[in-house]
């Protein structure tokens, strides 16, 4: 795994963190919109896949069928991302900055895959097994990213479940429930 690939992964992480906190949490507040339950579910699943990938790639070389399992996780991530793009277009209007960020994330992810797939193919051609590979700060950073991705996944799943208990009520009926003003 090359330095360029880890640099692209670091860029992906920065853009992903920006998207999660700026767009999903602060401006769009997805965790508080019942209409975004399915989007949050997709985000939660994808975050858990990212956590798994960070741990595997940060600490192991996997060979044989195990390398093909990583390819399967990458394919699943792509399918989930495509579903997320469609869900976002169906359920809300994305701000321009979020649309641009998603496009840059997709381009960068493609570059990561171009660099990662030959490594995984080489690993898949080797006998079945796994080797622990400590990569210094990269392994530690990958672990921290895995923990962060897993926490975001848990947050998304928790918000999704909470939103399932919320009801959307038309705002016009709320005014009628406000008690009449009392004289001073």
Phi-psi region of 169 (alpha: psi -120 to 50; beta: other; left: phi over 0): beta
Residues 148 and 156: beta-carbon distance below 8 Å: no
84: tokens are: 């997320």
For residue 23, being part of any structural domain is answered with no
- pLDDT, tens digit, for every residue of 11-68? 999 999 999 999 999 999 999 999 999 999 999 999 999 999 999 999 999 999 999 9
Q: 93 is in which domain, residue-wise?
A: 35-98+106-166
Q: Please give the C-alpha separations between residue 9 and each of 23, 42, 98, 180, in angstroms, as whole numbers.
A: 20, 21, 19, 58
The answer to whether residue 157 sits within a structural domain is: yes
Predicted pLDDT at 175: 66
Confirm whether 183 is domain-assigned: no
Say if residue 171's pLDDT is above 70. no
| Within-domain flag for 159 | yes
Which pLDDT does position 179 carry in this prediction? 74
Q: Is residue 57 part of a domain?
A: yes
What pLDDT score does 54 carry?
96
Count of domains observed in the chain = 1
Distance CA 116, CA 165 (A): 41
Any domain includes 8: no
- Show the tokens assigned to 106: 């997709």
Query: pLDDT tens digit string along 123-154?
Result: 999 999 999 999 999 999 999 999 999 999 99
Decide if 161 contacts 31 (C-beta within 8 A).
Answer: no
Q: Is residue 122 part of a domain?
A: yes
Say if 22 falls within a structural domain. Answer: no
- pTM here is 0.86
Task: Tally DSSP H helices, then E strands, for the chain.
Answer: 5, 2
- Is 173 a residue whose pLDDT tops 90? no
Provide the β-strand partners of residue 62.
Answer: 130
| Distance between CA atoms of residues 85 and 73, nearest Å | 18
């Amino acid at each position: 795994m090359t330095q360029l690939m880890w640099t692209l992964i670091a860029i992906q992480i920065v853009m992903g963190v920006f998207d999660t906190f700026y767009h999903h949490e602060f401006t769009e507040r997805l965790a508080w919109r019942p209409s975004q339950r399915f989007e949050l579910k997709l985000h939660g699943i994808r975050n858990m896949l990212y956590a798994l990938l960070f741990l595997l790639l940060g600490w192991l070389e996997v060979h044989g069928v195990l390398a093909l399992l990583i390819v399967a996780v990458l394919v699943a991530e792509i399918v989930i991302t495509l579903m997320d793009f469609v869900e976002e277009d169906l359920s809300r209007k994305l701000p321009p900055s979020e649309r641009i960020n998603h496009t840059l994330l997709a381009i960068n992810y493609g570059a990561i895959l171009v660099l990662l797939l030959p490594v995984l193919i080489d690993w898949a051609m080797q006998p079945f097994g796994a080797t622990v590979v400590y990569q210094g700060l990269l392994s530690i950073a990958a672990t921290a990213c895995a923990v962060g991705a897993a926490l975001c996944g848990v947050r998304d799943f928790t918000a999704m479940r909470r939103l399932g208990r919320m009801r959307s009520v038309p705002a016009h009926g709320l005014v009628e429930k406000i008690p009449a003003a009392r004289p001073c």
